Every structure is written in structure tokens, then in C-alpha cells.
Structure 1
Amino acid sequence: MNVDIKIERSVEVEAPYARVVPLLDDLEGTIRRFPKLKKLTKVGANAYLWEMSTIGSKAANIAHEVSYAAHYTVNAKRGEMSWKPLPDYGNATIEGRFALLDQGKKTKLVFDVKGKLRDVPVPLMYRLLAPPFIQGKFTRLVDIFLESTRDALLEETTR
């Protein structure tokens, strides 16, 4: 079955924007912080194929190894990284943005993503439960990404 995902999350960092904006200079380093990322392969200029570890529940037989490719655009003036899916790669199409919002002494990290996971193996009896379950699993991954990015930034600013 196909499952749509849409996630909008944010976290505040106790660091000024000027100390956070270098995140956008390290595209690969920022991407690699995403949990469950098993392999990241460069497939072009600012384009990467993501291969993720299994997401879901093997016990409920709702588990999927997501893979997709996207082209990334960084706009440092706007404090934003965005990505668009590349066709013909993997079993998902995912697009989104990662933005840094200046809030004086703090910076807000905003992560918006939407897409479609294709060919998710779901037993018939779980078809109604699978989409919110999978959405919840991805939301947790985004939260972990934002938290680990915040923590890494705080470590850098205290050095």
C-alpha cells in the first residue's frame, strides 16, 4: 500500500542565528544526522540517495526500508535548505525544507516534509492503522533529528 506522510516540527536552539547558520554549509553532515539513515550516496550535484534502516514494527508486520533521492538547494540568505524528489529512485518521493528562523538570542529550527511511501507491505487487517502508525514513526525520527541537531549546535557553541 502507499502511505502519505506530512510532518511539520520545530525546536528552539539557545544560540543566535549567526552561530547556527553554518549548518547550511555542511549539507552532508546535516543530512547524516537523520536517524535510521543507513547509507547516503551522492547521485549528482547536491543530490543524494537515502537508504534507511527498517522503519515500523516487525512484530506487527508493518516494516519498510525507505529509499529515495532528492536534489537539495541551499539558500543561506533565507536560512533555508529545501529538497525536491528525483524520479526513478527508491520506493518513496519526499520533499521538504529545513529552515532557521532568527529569534534574537535563540534560533528556531523548522522542519517540514511531505511525501509518499510506495509499496509498504501491510497486512490487510492493519490497513486502517498503518498510515497513522507510520506517520508517527516518521514524526519521531524528525523529532530525534531536530533534538540531535540542537544538541550538536549547543556543543559547538560552548567550545
Structure 2
Amino acid sequence: MAITVSIELNRELEIPGGYDEVFDLLADVPRSASHFPKVHKLTDLGENAYRWEMEKVGVDKHAIQSVYACKYHSDKDAGRITWEPVKGEGNGVVSGSWTIKSRGDNATAVKFQTSAELTVPLPSLLKLAISPVIKHEFNSLVDTYMNNLKKAF
């Protein structure tokens, strides 16, 4: 048996760096991912697609690991970076975008939006109990990621 947990996240922040350097960091997936917490392994699948393998969370047979892959597209002139799921990779389906706008020479406003569906091998009885835990963990990881990005500048 398995349960699927859906997560939607939106964040807005201002990064104390110029547009070009912020865009270039976010568009460089390995560099950007180095600021994301609890990434066990990031694998380059070619053609700007990457498989994310997160650290396991939980204990023994109840440990959960999210694995997913996305293909990334960046458009510097439009200030957008998007990602879409790569089919058949892992137990997660993730899509989303960055919207990036200059706020002068030393400030850049960014909007982060992502949608994820994670399928985990747990009995459906546990969905009510485990769903909030998974959502909380994902929110916490993204909040730490945002803070780490700010610190990078």
C-alpha cells in the first residue's frame, strides 16, 4: 500500500544581490541545490535535468526518502526559471518556478512556487497522521533553503 501527499508552496523574498548574480545562481541547478538542506545526492541526467535524492527521514522500515527528477528551463530576459517533472523517476512529481525581478543594483525580489506529490509506501491508515509531518518537513526545508540563499549574498 502507498499514500500520496500533495504539497503546494509559495515564498517571496528579497535577496541582497544584483539581478544577474541572483539569476545565475538560481539557474545553475547544482549551485542552487548546494544551498538546499538534506540533499543526499543530486544526479545530472543531461539536458538540464536532475534527479534529487533527499536524505531519509524516519526510523528503520518506516524511513521515507523522496526521490524525484526535474527538467529546468531558464529565461533570463523574462526573469523566469521553471521546472517540470521527469516521468518515471523516483516517488515524487515536482514542478514549479522562480520569478525574478531587479530592485536596484543590490536587491532582487524572487518568488518561488512549487507543487509536489510524494508517494510513500505506508498504509492508508497513516495518511492522516503522516501527511502533516511530511508537509511540515517540506516547508521547513524550503524555509531553510530561502535563508541559505539570502546568506549566499
Q: Structure 1: which amino acid aligns with 2:122?
A: P
Task: Structure 1: give runs of 5+ residues left out of the alignment.
Answer: 155-159
Match of 1:132 in 2: 132
Q: Structure 1: which amino acid aligns with 2:99?
A: A
Q: After TM superposition, what 4+ stretches of structure 1 lie above 4 angstroms from structure 2?
A: none
Displacement after TM superposition at 1:129 (Å): 3.0
Match of 1:31 in 2: 33
Q: Once the two structures are superposed, what CA deviation does each residue of 1:82-136 show, in whole Å capped at 9, x if it has no partner? A: 1100111101110111232222352122211102101243673x42132222111
Q: Secondary structure at the match of 2:120?
A: coil
Structure-2 change in CA distance of 1:14 and 1:87 (3 Å): same
Q: Secondary structure at the match of 2:88?
A: coil
Q: Percent identity?
A: 30
Task: Structure 2: give runs of 5+ residues left out of the alignment.
Answer: none
Structure-2 change in CA distance of 1:29 and 1:127 (3 Å): same
Aligned mates of 1:26, 1:117 — CA distance in 2: 24
Structure-2 change in CA distance of 1:18 and 1:70 (3 Å): closer
Q: Structure 2: which amino acid aligns with 1:26?
A: D
Q: Secondary structure at the match of 2:99?
A: strand
Aligned mates of 1:92, 1:20 — CA distance in 2: 27
> Under a length normalisation based on structure 1, what TM-score does the superposition of the two structures give?
0.82
Residue correspondences, number: 150
Structure-2 change in CA distance of 1:149 and 1:45 (3 Å): same
Match of 2:74 in 1: 74
Report the RMSD for the aligned CA atoms in angstroms. Answer: 2.2
Match of 2:15 in 1: 13
- 1:139-158 superposed matches below 5 A: 139-152=139-152, 154=153
Match of 2:112 in 1: 111
Structure-2 change in CA distance of 1:25 and 1:69 (3 Å): closer
> Under a length normalisation based on structure 2, what TM-score does the superposition of the two structures give?
0.85
Match of 2:65 in 1: 65
Structure-2 change in CA distance of 1:3 and 1:66 (3 Å): same
Q: Structure 2: which amino acid aligns with 1:72?
A: Y
Q: Secondary structure at the match of 1:50?
A: strand
Displacement after TM superposition at 1:15 (Å): 2.8
Contact kept? 1:24, 1:79, Cα under 8 Å: no
Aligned mates of 2:150, 2:26 — CA distance in 1: 14
